[in-house]
Homo-oligomer: A and B are copies of this chain.
Amino acid sequence: MRQVVLSGGVGGARFLLGLVEVVEPAGVTIVANVGDDLEVLGLHVSPDLDTILYTLAGLGDEERGWGRKDESWNALATVSALRGETWFRVGDRDLGLHLVRTQALREGRSLSEVTGRLATAVGLEPTLLPATDQPLRTWLDTPAGSFSFQEWFVARGHRDEVDRVRFEGAMSARPAPGVAAAIADADLILIAPSNPYLSIGPILAVDEIRAGLAARTAPAIAISPLVGGRAVKGPADRMLARLAGGTSAAHVASCYAGLIDALVFDESDGDDSELVARTGVRPIVAPTLMRDAADRRRLAEVVLAATALAP
């Protein structure tokens, strides 16, 4: 069995952690968001790729949800003392990865090549791919102006309402090597419980990826990131309310119109089943909150069981 999972950072990584417990990890191909990628202190940082890598390799800080566990912050303390750029928190252990990646990119390697090398080094069993090797960057148009993703999210604390999400570079972005084939050959396509606009949106902004999903032969199932109409973390609910007109499971499903066969969403949103069904997507109600390993595993099992039901 081959699964492809489109994924953002924290929520997606937690879901993947459960998934690789119930399927053969080597059969999983992760297509990760790179819209949040940025240059920090001259280094190329890929927050979602890193969160997935760290989480699946057991290196991540589970409580914080990003970065490395047992982290120290001494490099950044120096940067601060020298009045350098400190708005983006990079720990020392994390920095080591950014150094290796940036050096390889400067030597002409592609992001997918470097990601593969890093994944191999930490012993990752699933295949981890960036959605694209080309620069594709998320921009937010807000009443206060246009901001790059990290400026809006980190520097401004995602306080500005979002009127529009744009993906710079999407027009010329091609799927990274392996992405299109993984989608075409998959037995199951999953969209992780990530922010539809900020985490999955940039992946689907790559035309060939969206087309691959639209032309799928395998079932595609998304997991809603909302619980009781609210985001577990982050601005997904506010964005859905403003950009899709509401925070029901049907509004989540509408983000993936034509691209999914079923939507798994939380019991607390169970009343939305009828609305979801009306969009032509099969509603699957289950506990989706992932507080621990048992929760994660159960959610993955629900999704796999749903596969049998999907058209």
Contact = CB atoms under 8 A, between A and B. Distances in A.
Interface stretch (A77-85, A165-173, A235-243, A291-299): A77-85
Contacts of A84: 96, 99-100, 103
Contacts of A122: 81-82
Interface string A69-83: 001101111111111
B75 A42 contact: no
A43 interface: yes
Contacts of A275: none
A78 B103 CA distance: 14
Contact of A100 (B41, B72, B95): B41
A71 B75 CA distance: 10
B72 A103 contact: no
Given A72-B72, A92-B72, A78 B106 contact: no
Nearest to A39: B103
A302 to B, nearest CB: 35
Interface residues of A, number: 34
A305 interface: no
Given A42-B106, A72-B74, A74-B72, A79 B99 contact: yes
Interface in A24-47: 41-43
A93 B121 contact: no
Nearest to A118: B82
A97 interface: yes
A76 B96 CA distance: 6
Nearest to A120: B83
A266 interface: no
A261 interface: no
Interface string A89-133: 001111111011011001000000000011001100000000000
Contacts of A72: 72, 74, 92
Nearest to A95: B75
A103 B121 CA distance: 28
Given A74-B92, A75-B95, A81 B121 contact: yes
Given A92-B92, A95-B95, A103 B75 contact: no
Interface of A: 41-43, 68, 71-72, 74-85, 91-97, 99-100, 102-103, 106, 117-118, 121-122
8 contacts: A74-B91, A76-B96, A78-B92, A78-B97, A81-B96, A82-B100, A92-B95, A95-B95
